[in-house]
Each structure stands twice: as structure tokens, then as C-alpha cells.
Amino acid sequence: MEKAVLHRLTTLCAICGVVFLILLGIMSLRDETREWKPYQTAYRDQLLGKISRDRNPALYQRVAGMSPAISQLVIDEWGAVDRCTTCHMGIEDPLFAGAKQPLAAHPRPELLKYHPVEKYGCTICHGGQGTATTYAGAAHKAIRHWPEPMVAKGLMQARCGVCHKDFAAIGADRLIRGREIYKEMHCAGCHLVDGQGGAVGPELSAFADKDPGAFTYDHLEGEHSKQNWVMEHFRNPQKVSPGSPMLLPAMNEDQLQCLASFVMSLSQRNLSKKYLPKVRPDFVPPRVDILTPEADLSGTEESE
């Protein structure tokens, strides 16, 4: 009896060992085919072609010895973990200006001068899933039930307005236009923003800080994301939020994006001193509850 039990245990251990070796092999194979590894190899090879071995042999040897590895930034101020630079290795490298993605340098290096990647990361401005290491996982495109895709190009200034309240100082023309549309449509008659306006509708003072999971997407077409909810809500409030008393005039796409950008910039985030943007001594935040003449919102203005 004991020999039979011992034989069974030995057989079971052998089977488990074989299964373990198979799983280990699969894991090793998957690790070698990670999506980001060819990008890092391409960056190394292209960089070696851009630098001189003779002029800087130490740098050349260091680059030649680079091996694929996850690049991770932890930005405590935002509670963010970004691995974007695992693929976007040339983001701050002027030698990669004009290169193909994902190795291309940032198209506006002047912004990185004041927002270095190691201090700010990437997702605070661009959105997306910072911990991902695949194109799809990073939410470059809409992923159902992933509420934080990358910010659409037309809404990008919304992220600037979360920190910078002097829109004119940073040239945030779409935020300025969105604020004017907000005033022209008398939105403050129902919505409170920083103590200005009415209380008929929800307060918008911290709209940018609202969790995307707090929205209802049952009647929303397209991606289930906060930015899409805002755009579709402005297009047709009653469809996205049945029973909503909000009435809006018809707006073209550019006007919708400007208004959405302004609303999505409204934040009450408390920033530490090192992240607090400098403001002109004479800056006074414009009021949003002052009524202004309504513009022709149904026009066909050119996109900015």
C-alpha cells in the first residue's frame, strides 16, 4: 500500500515538474516578445548611428551596452505611475526630432523645458494608463471600461487649465474661448463654479477631479470615457442624461471642444509649491457669472 502511494506521489511530482517547465518556457518566450523591447533595440541602434565613437567613446560604449528594461516614473504629487518612456525613449532627445513614433522627440520641446518628464511624467498632460507597457493597454485608443483614455487633441488644453488658471499667460486660446462660451450661454445661471453662479444644476468647481467611474454611460454612444461623456452631453443633454433640464443651442465641433475643454479644466487640486504655476501679480481670475451677449453658436467657425 505504501509503495503504491509513494509511486503515485512520485508520478504527481514528475507531472508537476513537467508542467512547471512548460509554463516557465512559455513565460520566457512571452518575455522575449514583449511589445516594447523592439522599440528599445531600435532606439539604441538609431542612437548609435547619431553619435560618434571617436568623439565620445564612453557614451558610445554605454549606449551600445544598453539592454531592454522597463522605464518607470513615480510622480507622488499626482499619484501617478508612468511607464510611457519605456517606448517613448526619445521624448526629450533632440537627436530624435522628426523621428517616427514611438521614438520621436516631443513636438514642442519648449513645453518640456518647464515640464521635464522626470518631474511631471506624461499622463498628467496626456491622460492614458501610465502603468501599461502595450500600445492598446496604454489607452492610445478607446478601451471599453477603461475610463481614462489619452486626451483627444482638441481637448488637450483642458489638462493645462487644471494647473494654469491664467489662460492668457500660457496662450490657452481654446480655454479662453470655452470660458466665453460658458458665459455667453449663461451656464452660471444653473451651475456653481468657485462660488459664482446658481445651484440648480451640479456644481462644476472640481469637475476635472471627478472620478470617471462616477458617470453613467448607459445612454452614451462611443467610448465610455469622461471626455466622450462631456462632448456627447453638450451635443444632446437629454439623450446622455434623460430628464436633464439643460438646453443648449447647436454648436459646431470646435465650439463643443472649447466648451468641454474649459469645463474639464475646472479643478480644486491643491498643488505643492514646486508644482504651483507662477501667476502674474496683477492677475485676477475672470468671473464666469457675468452675462455677456450671446454669439452665433450655430456658425461654422474654422477649427483653431
Query: Using one digit for the tens of pLDDT, what is the confidence trace for 54-108?
Result: 888 899 999 999 999 999 999 998 889 999 999 999 999 999 998 999 999 999 9
pLDDT in the model for residue 33: 78
The candidate with the shortest Cα–Cα distance to 156, out of 145, 172, 141, 177, is 172
Is-contact 240 219, C-beta < 8 A?
yes
Kindly state whether residue 297 falls inside one of the protein's structural domains.
no
* Same domain? 190 vs 108: no
Kindly state whether residue 233 falls inside one of the protein's structural domains.
yes
Q: What is the domain-level CATH number for residue 208? A: 2.60.40.420
Residues 24-53 have a mean pLDDT of: 84
* Same domain? 176 vs 254: yes
- Which pLDDT band holds residue 302 (cuts at 50, 70, 90)? very low
pTM of the model: 0.83
Residues 250-270 have a mean pLDDT of: 95
* pLDDT above 90: residue 43: yes
3-state helix, strand, coil in the chain (%, to 5): 45, 5, 50
pLDDT in the model for residue 250: 86
- Which pLDDT band holds residue 299 (cuts at 50, 70, 90)? low
Q: Tell me how far apart the alpha carbons of residues 123 and 129 are, in angstroms, rounded to a whole number.
A: 7
Number of domains in the chain: 2
The more confident residue out of 125 and 25 is 125
* Same domain? 186 vs 115: no
* Same domain? 165 vs 206: yes
* Same domain? 122 vs 160: no
Q: Tell me how far apart the alpha carbons of residues 36 and 58 are, in angstroms, rounded to a whole number.
A: 26
Q: Tell me how far apart the alpha carbons of residues 265 and 158 are, in angstroms, rounded to a whole number.
A: 5
- Which pLDDT band holds residue 298 (cuts at 50, 70, 90)? low
* Same domain? 119 vs 221: no
The more confident residue out of 293 and 192 is 192
Residues 269-286 have a mean pLDDT of: 89
Residues 186-203 have a mean pLDDT of: 92
**% of the chain beyond a pLDDT of 90:** 63
Between the alpha carbon of residue 186 and those of residues 189, 239, 297, the distances in Å are 6, 21, 13
Contacts of 38 (CB under 8 A, 6+ apart): none
* Same domain? 247 vs 199: yes
Instruction: Tell which of 106, 126, 146 closes a domain.
Output: 126
Kindly state whether residue 134 falls inside one of the protein's structural domains.
no
* Same domain? 84 vs 165: no
Q: State which residues form the domain around 96.
A: 37-61+68-126
Q: To the nearest whole number, what is the mean pLDDT of the chain? A: 88
Kindly state whether residue 287 falls inside one of the protein's structural domains.
no
* Same domain? 161 vs 263: yes
